[in-house]
Amino acid sequence: MTFEKLLRMYRFEEALALYDAYYERMADLGEKRAHLGDALPIAWVPLIFHCTYFDNLKGILNDGKLRPSEEKSYVALTELPVTELTRFRSLRPKPFEIAIGFPRALLESKGLYQPAYLKHATQEVKDKFKDAPSGYVELSDDLGALHEVRIPGPLPIDDAVWVLSAKRNEDTRKLDLPELKPLRDLGVAVSYWHPSHQQGMIREPVFRRVKRNEEGHLVSLESVGKHYLPEMDNYVEREINPPAGKSFNLRFPKELRPDTLADGWEGPFSKYEMAAFCYEELKKKFPGRIGEVQPRIVME
Provide DSSP, 116-157. Answer: EE-TTS-HHHHHHHTTSPTTSEESS---GGGTEEEEES-EEG
**pLDDT in the model for residue 251:** 81
Give yes or no for a contact between 246 and 254, defined as CB atoms under 8 angstroms apart: no
Sign of CA dihedral 175, 180, 181, 185: negative
pLDDT band at 39 (very low <50, low <70, confident <90, very high): very low
Beta-bridge mates of residue 149 = 77
**pLDDT in the model for residue 263:** 83
pLDDT band at 269 (very low <50, low <70, confident <90, very high): very high
**pLDDT in the model for residue 29:** 52
Instruction: Please say if the pLDDT value at position 187 is more than 70.
Output: yes
pLDDT mean across residues, the chain: 86
**pLDDT in the model for residue 35:** 46
Q: Tell me the percentage of the chain whose pLDDT exceeds 70.
A: 90
Range of weakest confidence among 11-20, 246-255, 274-283? 246-255
Q: Tell me the percentage of the chain whose pLDDT exceeds 90.
A: 47
Maximum C-alpha span of the chain: 86
Mean pLDDT throughout 217-244? 81
Q: Domain map of the chain by residue range?
A: 3-207+270-292
**pLDDT in the model for residue 42:** 57
Give yes or no for a contact between 12 and 161, defined as CB atoms under 8 angstroms apart: yes
Mean pLDDT throughout 95-103? 93
Sign of CA dihedral 171, 100, 103, 278: positive
pLDDT band at 192 (very low <50, low <70, confident <90, very high): very high
Q: At what angle do helices 271-285 and 3-28 cross, to 10 degrees?
A: 150
Between CA 269 and CA 7, with CA 294 as vertex, the angle to 5 degrees is 55
Q: Which residues contact 73 (CB under 8 A, 6 or more apart)?
A: 134, 135, 152, 153
pLDDT digits over 41-88, tens only?
456 789 999 999 999 999 999 999 999 988 889 999 999 989 888 887
pLDDT digits over 114-149, tens only?
998 888 999 999 899 888 888 898 888 887 778 899
Instruction: Please say if the pLDDT value at position 156 is more than 50.
Output: yes
- Its pTM stands at 0.83
Q: Using CA atoms, how far apart are residues 183 and 209, in angstroms rounded to an integer?
A: 20
